[in-house]
Chain A
């Protein structure tokens, strides 16, 4: 089973990289970019075949390492 994990900065946490990307897009001529937030994407291959067990494990992975829940949110998709 594969877990696809999206980690994004929480609302209100400053994202200077997103701001720089937004500035670059503007200077390249892409008009109307109202905001850019940069995040991270992970693919984790699991031996587990039971979806709910996999979800429990991946949630623990996110809480304990993959995301810093002080500043980040995460979303998990299993396939």
Chain B
């Protein structure tokens, strides 16, 4: 399982993500600079978290128009697996790879803490090692994680089981239907606000999110 992690100016979680991928899949990921125009041959592309372009204009807006994103879009259309975490989720929505948008947290505060996520869909490449309804602890750190979309999109997400993760025991950002992560119609693009890469080693305080990464090996 070879993965690539895309690096944009202002991203700061790429190292955590690369370490998590290497620790769980056994293969060191390739870092790909945003100005590249072609992805290397990989099985998975991860768009990591951070603050690409200082969140100028809208979170993820500028990064979503980077040269590399044309190839990400083209290969996603052919089924390449794409995972976006936090800013990466914002970038994927801005790039049109996932529906909806992430707006300012309802409480207006940047929220940096641990939350609980319920796994709602175990048929994805990032959740196949978990059981439906499993609750995992996972850290979040974002100011704009409030997921919104129109009624039609929401009913298709809910009706087709495309909500992958839902916040339980409290909604930290006001996200519609407590949505923390979603998958696209074809099942190969996942976006989530929480940071599973920071909950896989005993030093992180818990390893709840390790099975998510281990799912990549089975996918």
Residues of A within 8 A of B (CB): 13-14, 16-17, 20, 64-66, 68, 70-71
Of A17, A20, A64, A71, the contact of B148 (CB 8 Å cutoff): A71
B149 at interface by CB-CB < 8 Å = yes
B97-105, B113-121, B197-205: which lies at the interface: B97-105
Q: Are A14 and B148 in contact (CB under 8 A)?
A: yes
Chain A contact surface mostly = helix
Given A14-B148, A65-B61, A65-B65: A70 and B106 within 8 A (CB)? no
* Alpha-carbon separation in the docked complex, A73 to B125 (Å): 35
* Alpha-carbon separation in the docked complex, A1 to B3 (Å): 46
What chain B residues lie within 8 Å of A17 (beta carbons)? 104, 108
Chain B contact surface mostly = loop
Q: Are B148 and A13 in contact (CB under 8 A)?
A: yes
Q: Are A16 and B105 in contact (CB under 8 A)?
A: yes
Q: Are B57 and A70 in contact (CB under 8 A)?
A: no
Q: Are B104 and A16 in contact (CB under 8 A)?
A: yes
B174 at interface by CB-CB < 8 Å = yes
Using A14-B148, A16-B106 as known contacts, list a sample of 12 further A-B pairs with CB atoms less than 8 Å apart, ordered by residue number in A. A13-B148, A14-B106, A14-B146, A16-B104, A16-B174, A17-B104, A20-B108, A65-B65, A70-B93, A70-B149, A71-B103, A71-B148
Residues of B within 8 A of A (CB): 57-58, 61, 65, 93-94, 99-101, 103-108, 146, 148-150, 174
Distance (Å) between the CB of A72 and the closest chain B CB? 9
Chain B residue nearest to A66 in the complex (CB): B57
* Alpha-carbon separation in the docked complex, A33 to B148 (Å): 26
* Alpha-carbon separation in the docked complex, A66 to B94 (Å): 11
What chain B residues lie within 8 Å of A65 (beta carbons)? 57, 61, 65
Q: Are A14 and B174 in contact (CB under 8 A)?
A: yes
Distance (Å) between the CB of A65 and the closest chain B CB? 6
Q: Are B103 and A14 in contact (CB under 8 A)?
A: yes
